[in-house]
Structures are given as structure tokens and as C-alpha cells.
Amino acid sequence: MSWPLGGFKRKQAQSQAPRDLSGEEEREALASLRDFENSGLGWFWSTNAQGLVTYVSGSVADALGCSPSSLLGQSFTALFNAEQIAGNETGRTLPLLMASRKGFSEFNVRARGDGDEVWWAISGRPQFDASGEFAGFRGNGIDVSAALKEERDTSRLARFDSLTGLSNRHSMEQRLESTLTAYKASGRSCGLLMIDLDRFKAVNDTLGHPVGDALLKQVAERLRGVIGKDGEIGRLGGDEFQVIIPDCDDRGKLGDIAKRLIALISQPYSIDGSRCVIGASVGIAVAPFDGATSEELVRNADLALYAAKGGGRGQFRFFSIELQNTAEKRKVLEEDLREALGEGQIHLVYQPIVNAKTNAVAGLEALMRWEHPDFGDLPPSLFIPIAEESNLIIPLGEWAIREACATAAHWPGNVSVSVNVATAQFAHDGFINAVTQALAEAELSPHRLELEFTESIFSTNADLARETFNELRHLGVRVTLQNFGSGNSPIAYLRNSQFDKIKIDRSITQEVTFSGSRCSAIAAAIATLAQKLGMVTVAEGIEARDELKVMGDLGIEQIQGFIYSPPCSAEAVSEALATGQWVIEPDGPAQQRADRRSVYRRVGVIHEDFRYDVIMRNLSRGGAAIEGLFEVPVGTQFVVDLGEGQLVVSTVKRSEGALQGLEFEISLVDDGAGGLVTRHRVSKHLLEAMGMPSYGTNAGAVIALNTTGGINLPKFATADNITKGVR
């Protein structure tokens, strides 16, 4: 930065003795200095040996909102903000510079006060009297506020997203890299959340980019509202966001953050009179368990995000080694799916929808299955997301409607068939023609066909959705709003569009019997609303008798779930309907235990110096049932190895033969995919030091650990050892 009075180099100034001026010359010099001060280009100052102001230009006093005389006798450093007088790269402070009694130049300081920021670059030169004693400083300064603001703006543009004000991709990459590098030596953890907006492209395409930009700004504010000071938020571009949560490996906390983000982002937006509804999917990875470098961590968080979107969107997932295998499998499935329909590998199964009062089958829902030659029978939750992303969903959806209509045409009576319709299929220009043709080819009465939709169809074009519904009703086809009660509650859609049925989502029905749950009240409200609007209510996912009773008490007309029947083949349905009315008696457990997952997988349990292989038969947040050890006393403590560094302390509460019921010391947490995980994990290095199998590695039947040397014999017999005749 150049100085107004910098006409001579300091070395020259120091080497030349001051020239004596005549009286006239002194008056002209003083007048020139006054003119310079009044021009606003710069100012002058001086202090005594104690650092107290003996002179300061009037422009400084004006900036501070006081008179020049009031500044005389004050400490020179008191004219500036105390926190912002250390502004050079050496880290030396202004008081330290002045205490050294040496010259300095272009030192940036901010004027004191809370008003508009005023920054000066000051220079000072020590003064000495005739005897060589230090007499104070004389100096000058210039206003550099505009230059610093421009510099900060340029720096901000390089580090921040211009639309949302969040950190940009480059800044987030640097922050993550520096955080992981700093944390590596001390073993500290770091959570990474990758966020992708669901249905944002539809808003951008239908309402325009200005609305899309305004929506992104509101999303950024909602992200700030959830994360606050707990982490760093960035926009990577488009509708992708990233959150870094330092010093956090608690997957319970990270899962709760993800749930709050999804819930808040999914609330409706109002932009220039337009109502927008979007969603969010979140993938989570934690360093160092899921990656020690930024590249590994981002890649694995991306895999988790991909799984969340594939699971139906509006969900979160934690990274696991299984996801890597799933991603590889998914690539294979995408290629195979292109040929599957033509080769007859896709078929439909049908789950009964039963009258809650008479137990008579009122209709059946058609569900797609893929009989893969290598992987066996695949559910739609696995391949439908692949079909949506590879543009195969439209031919696949049209085939499902044709096949369901052709099958139902042979059923006696008025039993209906319902088919799920994807958003892309619904928005396709040929959708109505495809439905009309399917009915005509099958010669099926239109009132026997029900089409099921989610509220996401309204996120693209609400007017088009209502127009399409009117055309379906004109045909005589019945329409159902499914998944009601999950995510956003589309009350406005019920007002503007006529549905024949509402399906209460399983996330509501499976918790209606839980103590303290609000789901029973929500189900009751939905049933009352539907009754007032003349719509039939269907409760799906009913498995236990206590759930069935609640649904009956609420006046729910139709029930779908395993308590009546799992999905059946077309042949089995035809056989059951051939005798006339199909009546199914409910058959299920007395109580719902939705928190207990039936599993059948091999895990490890650790006792003293040994790790045993056992079979886990079920799992809940608070415990598990295992099989494979004999003569285990009640009260025995185990550490259960769930894999991938997930260790949980437990106590045997029940023991019968080879079966034990365990109670966990610390409850497990939701993994976002209907499963359970531990809050914290143990690093690979510690597992290996103990002699434990590392991530993704199976152990033997019994292995000795490097805890206290493994010098004792195994205390418990295993099923394998009994079979072999050894202890």
C-alpha cells in the first residue's frame, strides 16, 4: 500500500539532516500539512514518552465522535478496539511495538466504537530529545476501510456460497481436511452429514430458478437453526449440502440431528405466493471409523446418502461396510433390470385388504417382485429406486397396471385390485392412455381398479395432479392416498383433490399401542377426518391383535397386514376366491413388539479372555436373545460384538439350555433403516490389539483374546464343540 507522503525512502530521510527553514517556508509547510489533513487523505499524531496523545488530527476525532481536545492526554492505543490492534502477520501488538521504541509502518487498527467499521493503517517514528532521551512518537495514518472491505469481500467470495452465505465446496474441503489432520494424532472423532434435497428439481423446473434460489436460501436458514454453533454447514452446489460435526462419534446424537434436519426441511415453504414442499435425505459417516482421510469419509457418507435415497427418501443412513457391498450389487442390478421385464423375471404378488368387521377380503394390493437368477426373490424396496433413477419406472409401472388388470379380470365378484403409481409415472404424458388401454385389454370394470399415490405427486405440479385425478374419476377408477401420516400431512390435498381411500402409514399403526405414543390420537384424527370427507380408511402393516383391536375401536374400515395374510401368488388368490367370498380369520401375536427385530445372524460374545460365536435370534434397543452357549448362569456379563467395532456390555437375565436373554447396559439407537446400532464404536487398532476380528471379519467358534493373556480355558461350551465332543 502506498502512502500519500511517501515521496522519499526512509533510508534517504534518515541519512539526510533536517534543513533549517525560513519563517515563510515554515508557514507554507504548516499550511500544506493542514490542507492535507482537511482533504481526508491522511492524518497525523504524536505522543509523549508515556504514550499519551499530544496531538491528533481532527479527522480522527470526527471518526470517534468527539473533539480533538478530548483526546489529548489519552493513551494512544485507547483510540482503537482492544481486540483488533494486533493486525499484522508477525502477531506483534501495537502496545508492544510502541514499547520497543522502534519505528513501525502500515499497522492496521480499527477505530474504537460499535458503529460503522473504520480501519486505519498507521505508521510511527520514535522521537528523541537533544540528550538522546526517548520523547515519544510522531506518525501518520490513512483510512484503509474500503481497501480492507474489498479484500474481505474477495476472500469471502472465495470461501462462501454467494447464494446462501454458507461455506462453499472448496472451503468445506479445506475445513474437513484440516480437522481430520488435527484430530488424527489425538484420536478425536468427527461426524460428517451429506444432505440432498428430495423433489427440488421438480420445484426448479415448474416454478423457475428464482423460486428455486429463494427456496435454497430458506433451506440454509433452517439448517442453521438445527446445527447452530455445533458444526460447520456448507453448500456443495445445486441442492447438495454438507455438515461437519467436530468431536462427535455418538450415532444417537447424529441420528437425532439428521431426524431434525429432515423434519424441518420437509415443512412447507411459501415463496412469492407459491407453496413448495420438498424433503431431504441424509447420509452419515464418522471419522476415524468410517474413513481416516477426507476422501474416504466423503465417499462413505455419499454411499450412506445414496442408501437413504434408495430407501424411499426422507430418511437417514449411517455408513456400514454392508453399504459398500450393496453399492456393488446395485450396479449389477441396474444392468440386469433392463432385461428382467422382457425375460419374465418380474411378477406380481397380492396382499389381501380385509373388511375389519366381517374379515372378508375387499381387495388386494399388487406388489412387484423380481425373481433374480442369482440373488433370488427381490422386494420392490430394493429395485424400484433403481428403476426410478434409470428411467425404467414408466415401462415397469405400465406393465404392473396391465398385469394387475388382466389378473383381476378373472376374479369373481367385485374384489378390487390396487396398484402403486410412482411420481414419474403419474407425471408422464401417456399415463391416462396407459390406464385406459390396460382396462380395455383386460375388459375389467374401472371401479375394480384402485391406484395408490403418495403426496409427492403434488410437489411437481398441483394443477396437473388435480386434472389427472379428474380424468381418472371420469374413467371410474378409484384413487387412494397412501402413507398418510408420514412426513408432511397433506390436509390441503384432501381439500382440493377427491380421494376414495386414505391409507394410514405403518409408521403410525405400529406404535398405536405403545405407552406415551401420540400415534393412537393421530390415527383417530385421520379416521374422523376421512369419515367426514366420505373416504374409506385403511390401516396397513397390522401384525398383532392389540393393534387390530385399536383399529376396530377407531372405526377403521379396512385392514392390511400379516395378521390376515402375507402377499400371495396370483394362483393362490384365484384359488381362494373361487369358492366365493374369501374370509380370513386374524392370526397374530397378542401384542405388538415393534421394537424387537427378529434376526438370525452370527455375532460374538466376549467373556473374560475368550470370544464365542453365537446366533442372535432377536434384537431390541435394550437387549437381545442369543443361542449357542450352554450352562450360562443368570447374571453373567458379556460384551456383545455386533461387528464393525460395535461392542455393548450386557447381562444375562434369562438362561434356558442354549438360549440366553441379554439386557444391554446402554440402549442401542436407530440406524435410519429400521435397524439398531451402538452409539459409539471401538477403533480397528484397538480391536486388533485385543486379538479381536477386525471390521467385516468373521471369527472362529472360540478364540482367545489378548486381554490378560488368554491363559484360562473357555468357561462355556458351544454348540460346535458339543457336536465335536470337546469342551
Task: Find the CATH number of the domain harbouring 664.
Answer: 2.40.10.220
Whether residue 4 is predicted with pLDDT greater than 60 in this model: the reply is no
At 455 the pLDDT is 74
Same domain, 477 and 366: yes
pLDDT-derived band at 301 (thresholds 50, 70, 90) equals: very high
255 domain-assigned: yes
pLDDT of residue 690: 72
Report, as an integer, the average pLDDT of 602-611.
90
Nearest to 223 by CA among 292, 286, 172: 172
Domain CATH number, residue 250: 3.30.70.270
DSSP 160: B
Nearby residues of 409 by Cβ (< 8 Å), 6 or more positions away? 442, 443, 444
Q: So what's the pLDDT on residue 184?
A: 85
Whether residues 532 and 394 share a domain: the answer is: yes
Classify residue 336: in a domain, yes or no.
no
Cell of 567: 402377499
Are 478 and 449 within 8 A, CB to CB?
yes
Residue 24: CATH number of its domain: 3.30.450.20
Does 12 have pLDDT greater than 50? no
- Pair (59, 196) in one structural domain: no
632 pLDDT higher than 70: yes
Residue 499 lies in a domain: yes
Question: Taking each helix axis from N to C terminus, what angle separates 294-310 and 321-340, rounded to the nearest 10 degrees?
Answer: 50
Q: Among 257, 287, 319, give the residue marking a domain's end.
A: 319
Q: Are residues 131 and 255 in the same domain?
A: no
Which of 107, 130, 150 is the endpoint of a domain?
150
More confident residue, 504 or 310: 504
For the chain, the distance separating the N- and C-terminal CA atoms, rounded to the nearest angstrom, is 84
Question: What's the whole-model pTM score?
Answer: 0.58
The pLDDT assigned to 726 comes to 41
Residue 485 banded pLDDT, cuts 50, 70, 90? low
Q: Are 438 and 419 in contact (CB under 8 A)?
A: no
Mean pLDDT in residue range 72-100: 74
**Residue 11: predicted pLDDT:** 40
For the chain, the domain total comes to 4
pLDDT band, very low/low/confident/very high, at 5 (cuts 50, 70, 90) = very low
- Tell whether the model's pLDDT for residue 283 goes beyond 90: yes
**C-alpha cell of 245?**
460435526
Residue 115 covered by a domain: yes
Within a domain: 245: yes
Sign of CA dihedral 488, 491, 495, 501: positive
pLDDT at 18: 56
Determine, yes or no, domain membership for 335: no
**Using alpha carbons only, how large is the chain's radius of gyration in Å?**
36
- For residues 133 and 171, membership in a common domain is answered with no
pLDDT at 695: 61
User: pLDDT grade, residue 378 (50/70/90)?
Assistant: confident
- Tell me the pLDDT tens digit for each residue of 491-507: 656 666 678 899 988 87
Identify whether 568 is part of a domain. yes
Is the bond preceding residue 268 a cis peptide, omega within 30 degrees?
no
Task: Look at residue 375 in the predicted model and tell me its pLDDT.
Answer: 82
Question: Between vectors from CA 341 to CA 336 and to CA 343, what angle results, nearest 5°?
Answer: 80
- Residue 117 is predicted with a pLDDT of 81
Is 282 found in the same domain as 168? yes
> Alpha-carbon distance 503 to 558, whole Å?
9
Q: Residue 675: which of 709, 704, 646, 713 has the closest Cα?
A: 646
User: In terms of domains, do 185 and 141 share one?
Assistant: no
Is 349 found in the same domain as 253? no
SS3 content of the chain, % helix, strand, coil (to 5): 40, 25, 35
Q: What is the CATH number of the domain that holds 511?
A: 3.20.20.450
Between 354 and 28, where is the model more confident? 354
Burial class (CB in 10 A: 0-12, 13-18, 19+), 692: buried
- On whether residue 68 sits in a domain, the answer given is yes
53 & 166 share domain: no
Q: 647, 641 in Cβ contact below 8 A?
A: yes
pLDDT digits (tens, 9 = 90+) for 128-187: 998 999 999 999 999 888 888 777 776 666 788 989 999 999 999 999 999 999 888 888
CA distance 376 to 373: 6
The pLDDT confidence band at residue 720, using thresholds 50, 70 and 90, is: low
My answer on whether 553 and 411 are in the same domain is yes
717 pLDDT above the threshold of 90: no
Instruction: Supply the range of the domain harboring residue 146.
Output: 10-150
- Looking at the fold, whether 414 and 508 belong to one and the same domain comes out as yes
Q: How many H helices and E strands in the chain?
A: 24, 32
Cell numbers found for residue 645:
467395532
Tell whether 302 and 175 lie within a shared domain: yes
CA distances from 14 to 8, 29, 316, 405, 669 (A): 10, 20, 70, 100, 74
Please give the helix or strand (H or E) that residue 613 lies within, else none. strand 610-619
Percent of the chain with pLDDT over 70: 87
Last residue of a domain, one of 150, 181, 211: 150
The Cα 374–Cα 49 span in angstroms is 90
Quote the pLDDT of residue 698: 56
DSSP E strands: which ranges in 247-398? 269-271, 274-276, 279-287, 316-318, 346-355, 361-372, 376-378
